[in-house]
Amino acid sequence: MSAGILGVGKFIPERVVTNFDLEKKMDTSDEWIRTRTGIQERRIADEKTNTSDMAFAAAKDAIKNAGIRATDLDMILVATVTPDQPFPSMACMLQDRLGAGHVAAMDISAACSGCIYGMITAKQFIDSGVYKHVLVVGVEKLSKITNWEDRTTAVLFGDAAAAVVLGPVSEGRGIISWELGSDGSGGKNLYQDGPFIKMNGREVFKFAVRQMGESAVHVVEKAGLKKEDIDFLIPHQANIRIMEASRERLGIPEEKMIKSIHKYGNTSSSSIPLALADAVEEGRIKEDDLIVMVGFGGGLTWGALTLRWGR
């Protein structure tokens, strides 16, 4: 058995906050934000919408698109650094709201790499034949830990949720190779201090450029593939310059990189499945396409995988 993606779903808050809106609130400019990060606008959830509400909406969408019922799930994993509360977990709240059976449910804390960590965890249970359907949700309400007085971080983030249902797929399809890693010594460069995100942007940037490139190359090599085999790269949508660096390291053309940072900003653990959800919705991804996903995040953590699309 090999684990693949059976369905993708997403939830994006209605409220759009553009760079021009931020110009009115803080000492920044659309030009600075666009050229340094590639972000043009982001979605910000309203007061009433919490992380669990976004997770629920994305999960329902993914379950529907996978063509299964919530009662078919064997495990629920939620990647987030902005849960409603430390416990009970978002995964347990989802189990109840979805009406899933009394299945295994837990949250994963790996910041922006969270969804890759979730998918690789799911894969172990599916490959071994223990579980059939695992729901993995990446969700963040980063606006609640954003310091709107700090222009160096406030312009970067957005709120969103995205989800995938993993299950067994036919031979040759699904996740082919993967890599996960961490380096806690870099934790001081990206963390939550009291209520807010703190970041040493330059250090994170250097780490991300190196690690995203290396991990992407590693998983392609591990899968025994060549750069010509890659149909799409879906990097963590943190900064267009970091994303471009990983694309160049892989040596693939621009049109093969999936980008949604301009419309959502950095949505942390939801960014990779969200970019995937849009690409699937737009009909860009076809049966048997070879996709490379790569992410990095607070921890510091990283993760990458190659996947052949289709059931």
Q: Which residues are catalytic?
A: 112, 236, 266
Please tell me whether residue 110 binds ligand ACO under the rule CB under 6 A. no
Please tell me whether residue 310 binds ligand ACO under the rule CB under 6 A. no
Q: Which is nearer to ligand ACO, 242 or 280 (CB)?
A: 242
Among 57, 100, 134, 155, binds ligand ACO (CB under 6 A): 155
Please tell me whether residue 297 binds ligand ACO under the rule CB under 6 A. yes
Q: Which is nearer to ligand ACO, 198 or 218 (CB)?
A: 198
Say how many residues touch ligand ACO, by CB under 6 A: 23
Q: Which stretch binds ligand ACO (CB under 6 A): 33-41, 91-99, 120-128, 223-231?
A: 33-41
Element (DSSP H or E) covering residue 97: helix 90-98
Least distance from ligand ACO to the Cβ atom of residue 81, Å: 6
- Cα 182 from Cα 188, distance rounded (Å): 13
Element (DSSP H or E) covering residue 271: helix 271-281
Among 117, 131, 178, 205, binds ligand ACO (CB under 6 A): 205
Are the C-beta atoms of 51 and 141 separated by less than 8 Å? yes
Element (DSSP H or E) covering residue 32: helix 30-37
Please tell me whether residue 64 binds ligand ACO under the rule CB under 6 A. no
In this structure, is the dihedral angle defined by the CA atoms of residues 200, 206, 209 and 215, taken in order, positive or negative? negative
Question: Which residues are registered as beta bridge partners of 231?
Answer: none
Query: Pairing relation of β-strands 301-308 and 16-18?
Result: unpaired
C-alpha separations of 263 from 64, 96, 283 in Å: 25, 32, 18
Which chain residues interact with ligand ACO by CB under 6 A? 28, 32-33, 36-37, 111-112, 151-152, 155, 190, 199, 201-202, 204-205, 208, 238-239, 266, 268, 297-298
